[in-house]
Amino acid sequence: MEPISLTAFFPAYNDQHTIEPIVRTAADEMRKVTDDFEVLVVDDGSKDETGAILDRLAVELPYLRVIHHERNLGYGAALISGFKNAKKDLIFYTDGDGQYDVREMHNLLAELRPNIDLVNGYKVKRADAWYRIWIGTAYRRAMRWVFRLSIRDVDCDFRLFRRYVFDRISLESRSGVICVEMAKKFELAGFRMVEIPVSHYPRIYGRSEFFRLRHLVYTFRGLLKVWWTLVISRRLHLWMSFVAKKS
């Protein structure tokens, strides 16, 4: 393998029970492939001890950088902060809640050949309650149809990018809608992607914010905005350009 520089980035919100082992494990795994690495954590206004744990670790671990949001800005906002502040040529990210195994980052790295811009995981088997599995499946299928996406699992947050992809696209969504926005903008930009299976584990601590009514309304509004901007407006522009050429 050619020499690489690698950022492992983790958005965190109320992940006091999982964030420290994730940070330490990520560093241990990256040492196996490079000496040029960093761990970046964005604490998105956690209300538990996540922030204090990260500050303690940042003093102890020279490879760790921590960004604190003073209040909870949303999952998309945490990702945008991380992508903007990552310093290495490659960016691996997954969530700070422990539902993915950071040791599987090697599977992503193995697929990042010179002609590939990003590697996206897809869950082999979702380890959640039955109703979340059902809703998640319906959501993924709906997003693929509405946004004409080729990606297999748009909400699998286990990804590896070349950092230059964020020089060509900008992200705006502050909620979980950012995953759909990313996928669509990657495809529109012509980036080359590989998808591989990854493991998914039960959430041991805390609970998902997704199923709260306020969050669902916010997500729906965000999806409408992205759909209008990236699908409908583009179709209208192409149609008007076609009409102008014919006239």
How confident is the model over 46-81, as pLDDT tens digits? 999 999 999 999 999 999 999 999 999 999 999 999
Instruction: Read off the pTM.
Output: 0.88
Strand partners, 123: 198
CA distance 66 to 76: 17
Closest Cα to residue 107, out of 94, 97, 98, 95?
94
Please write the tens of the pLDDT for every residue from 133-160. Answer: 777 788 889 888 989 999 999 989 999 9
Domains of the chain: 5-209 (3.90.550.10)
How does residue 29 score in pLDDT terms, banded at 50, 70 and 90? very high
DSSP 52: H
Kindly state the DSSP code that residue 74 receives in the 8-state scheme: -
